[in-house]
Amino acid sequence: MKAAICLIISVIILLLTIPCKSQDTFTEGYKTAKWGMSKEQVKSEFKDMPIKDDGSNFNFPTTIANEDVTVMFFFIHDMLYQVILGFEINTSNKNKYIAHFDSLESLLIEKYGKPSKKVRRGSSNRYIQDADAIALGEGIYYNEWNTKESQITLMLSGDKSELNLGIYYLCPALEKEKKKQDKTKAKDNL
């Protein structure tokens, strides 16, 4: 009898430590990979891709909208919570990044509708083009869409004269768990 009660208590404690949504309750994610899926489940969805696994996360190269892209998958407690598409624009013309941003923005608007947030911050100096201001870290182009389970962000940012173009898919419900884990790790390191 004591063993059965201990087992029941252990199962209840285990269930209480699992985030409130399981992978079966999520209907969104990136392509066929749904939020909350395990790393192995997500890998099986992309089994034809040349996956590079770093142990806790993985990525693969592909082509989207005629551009080279690295698709990166991130997990918390072996549950998918974030996907980043890092575009590798092969050009020295920084203004082409703006054109690519605009093209991706149009595609995302077709898919998700009007963005809930839209920021266009370039240079206040009319002689400096937006792409140059963004490359120096003084500007940003940013769109955000919010769906029932996801936050999708299209962003053109820069640092040290380099431009970065990406689409970020995030599950806010699971991101809270990631932030909690990061805070615990930080406290443990003190």
For 130-185, write each residue's pLDDT tens digit. Answer: 999 999 888 999 999 999 999 999 999 998 888 999 999 999 999 877 666 667 76
Q: How far apart are CA 82 and CA 80, in angstroms?
A: 6
The set of residues, in sequence order, having a beta carbon less than 8 Å from that of 38 and lying 6+ positions away, is 23, 75, 78, 79, 80
Can you tell me the mean pLDDT for 61-78? 94
State residue 87's pLDDT score.
96
Q: Are 183 and 90 in contact (CB under 8 A)?
A: no
State residue 161's pLDDT score.
85
Most confident of 4-8, 126-130, 162-166: 162-166
For 32-54, write each residue's pLDDT tens digit. Answer: 999 999 999 999 999 999 999 99
State residue 182's pLDDT score.
65
Q: What is the pTM of this model?
A: 0.80
Structure tokens at 138: 């003084």
Structure tokens at 123: 């240079």
Residue 9 confidence (pLDDT) above 80: no
Cα angle: 171, vertex 173, 175; to 5 degrees: 65
State residue 190's pLDDT score.
77
Q: How far apart are CA 147 and CA 57, in angstroms?
A: 24
Q: How far apart are CA 136 and CA 67, in angstroms?
A: 23
User: How far is C-alpha 133 from the chain's CA centre?
Assistant: 25
Q: How far apart are CA 48 and CA 40, in angstroms?
A: 14
Residue 11 confidence (pLDDT) above 80: no
Residue 68 confidence (pLDDT) above 80: yes
Helices (H) and strands (E) in the chain, counts: 5, 10
pLDDT level of residue 123 (50, 70, 90 thresholds): confident
Q: How far apart are CA 50 and CA 20, in angstroms?
A: 33
